[in-house]
C-alpha cells in the first residue's frame, strides 16, 4: 500500500472543485494550497491518479502556466484535449487555452505573485 500522502490528498480535493468549462494551472493549485512553489508536486500528484480516482477527479482541467497540456505522450494529449473541448474549452492554433477567459477562480489565482 502507498504511504500516506497528505499533500496529494489536498490536491485531489481542490481539483475536484474545478467546474466544467473552467481550467486552473499547476501553479495556481499549489498557490491556493499555500505552497506557491510546489507546482511540480501538483503535477506529480495528478500523474499518479489511477483507478477510480481518475474517473472522479477532473485532472484534465489542470494546465501549465502557458495554458498548454504538459504531458508529451500524444495519446494523452489527445485525450485531455478531447475532454476539454467536450465541455466547451477551446484551444488556439498553437494548442493553448486562453487562460484569461477560462481560468477558474481568478480572484484566488491572483495571489500567484512570483516573488
Query: Which residues contact DNA by CB under 7 A?
Result: 2-3, 5-8, 25-28, 35, 37-49, 54, 59, 62, 64-66, 70-72, 76, 80, 92, 94, 96, 112, 114
- And the C-alpha cell for 55? 474517473
In the complex, minimum distance from the CB of residue 15 to DNA, in angstroms, rounded to a whole number? 9
- The CA angle 99-56-67, to the nearest 5 degrees, is 15
Question: 41 or 105: whose CB is closer to DNA?
Answer: 41
In the complex, minimum distance from the CB of residue 19 to DNA, in angstroms, rounded to a whole number? 18
Helix axis angle, 39-47 to 6-15, nearest 10°:
80
Amino acid at each position: 500500500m502507498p504511504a500516506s500522502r497528505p499533500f496529494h490528498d489536498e490536491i485531489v480535493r481542490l481539483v475536484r472543485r474545478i467546474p466544467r468549462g473552467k481550467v486552473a494551472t499547476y501553479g495556481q493549485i499549489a498557490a491556493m494550497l499555500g505552497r506557491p512553489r510546489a507546482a511540480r508536486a501538483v503535477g506529480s500528484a495528478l500523474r499518479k491518479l489511477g483507478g477510480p480516482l481518475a474517473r472522479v477527479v477532473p485532472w484534465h482541467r489542470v494546465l501549465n502556466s502557458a495554458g498548454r497540456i504538459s504531458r508529451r505522450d500524444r495519446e494523452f494529449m489527445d485525450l485531455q484535449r478531447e475532454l476539454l473541448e467536450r465541455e466547451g474549452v477551446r484551444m488556439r492554433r498553437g494548442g493553448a487555452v486562453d487562460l484569461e477567459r477560462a481560468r477558474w477562480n481568478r480572484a484566488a489565482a491572483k495571489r500567484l505573485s512570483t516573488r
